Structures are given as C-alpha cells and as structure tokens.
Amino acid sequence: MSELKKPAYGGQAVMEGVMFGGKTKAVTAIRRKDDSIEFFHSSRKSNKLLTTLKKVPFLRGIAAIIEASMNGTKHLNFSSERYDLHPDEDYRLEEEKKESKLTLILGVATIGVLSFLFGKVLFTLIPVFLAELTRPVFSSNLAQILIEGLFKLLLLLIYIYAISQTPLIKRVFQYHGAEHKVINAYENNAELTIESVQSHSRLHYRCGSSFIIFTVLVGVFVYLLVPTDPLWVRIVNRLALIPVVIGISFEVLQLTNKVRDIPVLRFLGYPGLWLQLLTTKEPDDKQVEVAIASFKELLKVEESSSSTTEDKVV
C-alpha cells in the first residue's frame, strides 16, 4: 500500500503511554507498574455540527481541536488514573468513580476544550502587555507586532523547556517521540518492530507542536491588519482574532504536510520540526514497545467486527 493511500492516523502521548486514533476508533496503551501493558478502547464521537465544520476550510481546524479535546480527555483520564497504580489496587478506581461520577462526565466533555482556550488566551494576552511596555521606544504598529510575536515565541520556548525538565513531562515527551517514530515507520512501510521503529525520526510534519508554532507565526501577519493602539483595542482584537489565527494555522499545518516531499517547499514545515526538538525526546525500547502495541491494537480494533463496542479497558 502506498503512503498516499494509507489512512492518516494521529496520536498523542499520555502518562506512561500513547494514544492513537483512527477514523472511528481510538486506542491507548499504557505501561502499568507491574510492567504489563493495558489498553483502553473508545469510539471517536462527534456531532453533526462538528462533522459539517470539519469540511469547511478555515473552520475545520477549530472543529478538529474541539473534537480531539473531547475524545482525548477520556484517554488522558485513563492514563493518569492508572499509570502509577498497581493492577492489584484497581478496586480503588471504582470507589473514586462512584464518588465523582458527575465531575468525571463534565470533565470529559469540557476540560480539554477549556484548558486549550485558557492557555491560548493566556499566551495571547501576556505578550501584548509586555510589548506595550516597549511602546515608548518602539511605537510603530509594525515594531509592536514584531516585538509581540518575539515575546510570544520566547514565552512558548521558555515554558516548554521548563516543563520538559520535570521527570514526569520528560517521560511524556519520550512517549511523544515514540508516537512519531511509529507513525513514520508505518507511513514508510517499515516493519513495526522495536529495532525498525527506533531507526525512524521522532519528528513529524503533522504534529500538534507544529500547529502551536504556526499560530505564533501566522498571528504576526494577521495582526498587521488591525491597529495596536490604544491598548484596549489591541486586547479586543487579539481575543476576537483567536479563531481566525487558529483556522489559518491549521490550514498552514495541512499544507506543510502535503508538500513535505517536495524539496523546494519542505522547508515550510521546518519551524514546527524545530519546536518538536523540545516537545519530543528519544524514547527507550520499552516506550517504543508500548507505542507499537497501541498502534497495532488500533489497527486490529478498526478491522475487527467487534469494534462497535463502547469504551472499555482491555
């Protein structure tokens, strides 16, 4: 099967594991404390509005983010509840779920989306105020936008670097690298073994990290169309333009993935790949083993007639 005909699988790193999503199903594999690998299956759910929006250029990015956040939260919950718990203690999970069932339901539906929006607003407004402090020296509209973009980029890099130094996040970034290696191996028709997968790059053009850096770069160009003074107008414009920046950035991400094999154009995706040098780490063999198990389980589930089952732990 050629690469062009292969389904475009995506994934994300979770606590001590990897989630992969296909057209209708998603599977997470995690390493438990007894060294076993456990799976979580779920159906990828959407609604008519999101399905419609995903077909509309410049709106499909927002729809995809909302859908991914809603579906991915269940898998994040699964990994965070179990990764540091021995299977013999799983009875504690049922007790906790009984006590917080309403919170869990609300979390699955909203936490992912709200967290993304909160982070986006925060990283949009802080650079505005920092750039405004330099206005006595750099007063022109162009200078303010460039400085704002510079502060946004610096904050992003400092934040990612800082969290990557913590042991927990470092392991998540290693699983992120393992996820990319598996996808790269699959797309290059390579054998899905630990040795084969480890030989592939931990970077990928379609990564969400690339999307993040593109929102910074696209924002610089979009903000040139609106004034930066007075401050309250600048703040309102930045908040109002968040959906616009997200929509355009998603299209840029899709474009860079489509032209990645064209020598003259493949450099368009380099900023995203450079950022992935921070958001991914080289995984060890056991982490790659988990990623391979997750991906193979997804392929099996999507091909199986039993794939109509609801969310379940395996």
Q: Which residues pair with 21 in a beta bridge?
A: 10, 26
- Can you read off the two tokens belonging to residue 27? 């599977």
Query: CA-based angle 249:254:260, to the nearest 5?
Result: 120
Cβ-contact 27, 20 below 8 angstroms: yes
199-221: average pLDDT: 93
What is the rounded CA–CA span in Å between residue 170 and residue 214? Answer: 23
Please give the structure tokens belonging to residue 22: 């296909």
Mean pLDDT in residue range 276-288: 96
Give the tokens for residue 50. 């999101």
Least-confidence region, from 94-103, 115-124, 150-159, 217-226: 94-103
The answer to whether 178 touches 287, Cβ cutoff 8 Å, is: yes
User: Whole-angstrom Cα distance, residue 294 to residue 27?
Assistant: 6
**Is residue 52's pLDDT more than 90?**
no
Asked whether the beta carbons of 142 and 224 are under 8 A apart, the reply is: yes
Average of per-residue pLDDT values in the chain:
85
- Residues 78-130: tens digit of each pLDDT: 888 888 888 877 767 765 554 444 444 444 445 555 566 677 788 889 999 99
- Helix, strand, coil % (nearest 5) of the chain? 65, 10, 25
Q: What is the pLDDT of residue 195?
A: 96
Domain residue extents for the chain: 11-313
d(CA 71, CA 60): 16
d(CA 281, CA 163): 13
pTM of the predicted structure, to 2 decimals:
0.86
- Work out whether the CA dihedral 249, 255, 259, 265 comes out positive or negative: negative
Tell me the mean pLDDT in the region 48-76: 80
pLDDT digits over 160-193, tens only? 999 999 999 999 999 999 999 999 999 999 999 9
pLDDT for the residue 236: 94
The secondary structure element, H or E, covering residue 11 is strand 10-14
pLDDT digit string (tens) for 289-299?
999 999 999 99
**pLDDT class for 310, splitting at 50, 70, 90?**
low
Return all residues near 44 (Cβ < 8 A) that are at least 6 apart.
21, 22, 23, 24, 25, 26, 67, 71
Residue 308 pLDDT grade (very low, low, confident, very high; cuts 50, 70, 90): low
